[in-house]
Structure 1
Amino acid sequence: MNAHVAPPRPGSETEAASRRPLSVRLATPRGFCAGVDRAIQIVERAIEKYGAPVYVRHEIVHNRHVVERLKAMGAVFVQELDECPDDRPVVFSAHGVPKSVPASARDRKMFYLDATCPLVSKVHVEAERHHAAGRHILLIGHGGHPEVEGTMGQLPDGAITLVESVEDAHRVMRPGQQPLAYATQTTLSLDDTAEILSVLKARFPELPDPHKEDICYATTNRQEAVKRLADGSDLVLVVGSPNSSNSVRLVEVAMRSGAGAAKLVDDASQMDWSWFESVHTVGITAGASAPEPLIQALIAAIGDRFDMTLMDDPGERETVSFKLPRALTA
């Protein structure tokens, strides 16, 4: 763990000597993952190449600041394709879309770019493989989340049953004599998913494992990092938007892993400084759709009020990157 004492920022009204000491631990990894970075680049490059407006079906990623910045560049966010003109590019979000969406775009001869995270696309492929083999799929995930809607929309109605909780796992029934398989949303809690799977496998021992874990590397790495962070932190701050599944899971994991308290904040403006009473060590992390400047602004705000020692927690160094669509690189 590397530590350094953060100097007071220029213009700070309070001398360091008069401020209470505070240790701040910064998680590694944190913030943007490769899928989020690719999706944002797709929108940015589409605007650069084709001009504004470029339409985006649903939020490209679940972060308010990212969405507002792209709006300022010329992105127009819509809920459905019928809100888009035929003659402008449309981008599908990183969470994935039902098959009916690109089919509708093709029918209208629209130019579209699919920003679905490749790891979500992998779940789609696995679901299709199980369906082709005659298996009914139990999908572990959160109802109403765009990723779940996209995965369920890869197959005909009734081919997938959503399992949201341990209680669902105890209640779910096999459709007739059909063999079963399972898939998971990529941004779930590792521990919650393992608990649900243990119930499902006890009830249906023939359940096969996916070729690889559906929960993505970025979700896994950030949850493992926040577990380390929570151990010894009086307060853990997670930078992320409330509709970001992976950010919300980080708060839950931090609390389960021993943090004194854990809070989700969109940015530094949402800080409640009463949270810091009797706090000596603060952990900071960010969901996979939260930009690094938001994290640095949060650290700066803390540094303005405390005699802060900033420490970088060791963790997994991520080197994953995903290619952009050929239409944007040709």
Structure 2
Amino acid sequence: MTKPALTLYLAAPRGFCAGVDRAIKIVEMALQKWGPPVYVRHEIVHNKFVVDTLRNKGAVFVEELEECPDDRPVIFSAHGVPKSVPAEAERRNLTYVDATCPLVSKVHLEAARHAENGKQMVMIGHKGHPEVIGTMGQLPEGEVLLVETPEDVAHLQVRDPEQLAYITQTTLSLDDTAEVVKALETHFPAIEGPHKEDICYATTNRQNAVKQIAPKVQALLVIGAPNSSNSKRLVEVGARGGCAYSQLIQRATDIDWRALEGISAVGITAGASAPEQLVNEVVQAFRDRHDLTVEEVVTADETIQFRIPRIVREMA
């Protein structure tokens, strides 16, 4: 039987960003240095395949520090943690490694600087996301107010409208964030924004790549985890870009082939926590069913790398 023809447009950049790559290397190097088990507070990054791979190597994932024994090292996830977490680790004399993405740490420093200048913070982000919890936990309760939508801005109860600054979660949709910022600036004309965009370069690049391929395809598949904020934003960007079928999948086994019947062009991208191995798996699944043409659409070249903390670089 002749296989139906199909063109796959691969978005680039896609997949791992520098912060995710660094966090995974920290866990792997910690296992080499101290041997298993090494404890990790929360998923190191939001991807089941990555977490399961590290678990098989000896990483133990826990929700809270109290689940970690005193005699084993613990790693904090790439999303960042409230100040109370390293403080508790130090109180217990735990060996710990902070794998917080440096771009998230930059937002933490921004919040602290504004607080020192007497400003109350408004954070644009998703309630309950680990990055938001970590960032809001840099300052005392009440010093960081959370908004998700332009509608939330109207209900903000601030201490002094003349002494406000805003920060954002690093993995948001550029377009959605711009709407919230506009609402903040309308309600609070004196509000101060970040010197440099808080939404990280990798989030921006992956969204721009999807915007490029969305008009070319009838379906977009985003490889990523259901709890991955940046992956879910890519699905939204694809739908907003005119893609009739924009779906999140964790791996090739999640593809709904019936929904793709009769389609001749499909876009593929991967969230910042998804390894290229899963992209290759999806491409192969299409190759098994179609006379496939693969075209990569490159919109940016990423060369950024972040240094690994000294504590794991210095081998015992």
TM-score class normalised by the smaller sequence: over 0.9
Matched, 1:38 2:22: yes
Instruction: Give the drift of 1:203.
Output: 0.9
Matched residue, 2:240:
256
Matched residue, 2:57:
73
Instruction: Give the drift of 1:174.
Output: 2.1
Instruction: Give the drift of 1:173.
Output: 2.7
Q: Residue 131 of structure 1 is aligned with which of 85, 110, 115?
A: 115
| Matched residue SS, 2:24 | helix
- Counterparts of residues 94-109 of structure 1 (less than 5 Å): 94-109=78-93
Distance 1:129 1:196 in 2: 22
Matched, 1:212 2:196: yes
Using the size of structure 1 for normalisation, the TM-score is 0.94
Q: Is the Cα contact below 8 Å between 1:227 and 1:254 reproduced in 2? A: yes
* Alignment gaps of 5+ in structure 1: 1-13
| Matched residue SS, 1:182 | strand
Matched residue, 1:315:
299
Q: Is the Cα contact below 8 Å between 1:136 and 1:178 reproduced in 2? A: no
Q: Residue 99 of structure 2 is aligned with which of 98, 115, 121?
A: 115
Counterpart of 1:103, as a letter, is A
Distance 2:247 2:300 in 1: 23
| Matched residue SS, 1:231 | helix
Matched residue, 2:126:
142
Instruction: Give the drift of 1:170.
Output: 2.1
Matched, 1:196 2:177: no
Matched residue, 2:139:
155
Distance 1:23 1:283 in 2: 8
Deviations along 1:164-198, one digit per CA (max 9) or x if unpaired, are 11110222132245610000000000000000111
Instruction: Provide closer, same or farther for how the CA distance between residues 199 and 46 of structure 1 changes in structure 2, counting only shifts above 3 A.
Output: same
Q: Is the Cα contact below 8 Å between 1:169 and 1:200 reproduced in 2? A: yes
Matched residue, 1:227:
211
Distance 2:193 2:51 in 1: 36
Instruction: Provide closer, same or farther for how the CA distance between residues 242 and 177 of structure 1 changes in structure 2, counting only shifts above 3 A.
Output: closer
Q: Is the Cα contact below 8 Å between 2:11 and 2:268 reproduced in 1? A: yes
Counterpart of 1:168, as a letter, is D
Distance 2:216 2:52 in 1: 35
| Matched residue SS, 2:242 | coil
Matched residue, 2:163:
179
Distance 1:176 1:251 in 2: 37
Matched residue, 1:53:
37
| Matched residue SS, 2:12 | coil
Matched residue, 2:73:
89
Counterpart of 1:156, as a letter, is P
Matched residue, 1:11:
none
Aligned length: 314
Instruction: Give the drift of 1:264.
Output: 0.4
Distance 2:162 2:106 in 1: 23
| Matched residue SS, 1:284 | strand
Distance 1:152 1:30 in 2: 29
Q: Is the Cα contact below 8 Å between 2:150 and 2:179 reproduced in 1? A: yes
Distance 1:130 1:177 in 2: 14
Instruction: Give the drift of 1:80.
Output: 0.4
| Matched residue SS, 1:282 | strand
Counterpart of 1:109, as a letter, is N
Q: Is the Cα contact below 8 Å between 2:29 and 2:313 reproduced in 1? A: no
Instruction: Give the drift of 1:255.
Output: 0.2
Deviations along 1:284-323, one digit per CA (max 9) or x if unpaired, are 0000000000000000000000111000112101000000
Q: Is the Cα contact below 8 Å between 2:161 and 2:188 reproduced in 1? A: no
Matched residue, 1:7:
none
Q: Is the Cα contact below 8 Å between 1:23 and 1:280 reproduced in 2? A: yes
| Matched residue SS, 2:138 | coil
Q: Is the Cα contact below 8 Å between 2:161 and 2:191 reproduced in 1? A: no
Bigger shift: residues 82-91 or 170-179: 170-179
Counterpart of 2:296, as a letter, is D
Distance 1:159 1:172 in 2: 13
* Alignment gaps of 5+ in structure 2: none
Using the size of structure 2 for normalisation, the TM-score is 0.98
Distance 1:133 1:207 in 2: 13
Distance 1:195 1:169 in 2: 11
Bigger shift: residues 205-214 or 46-55: 205-214
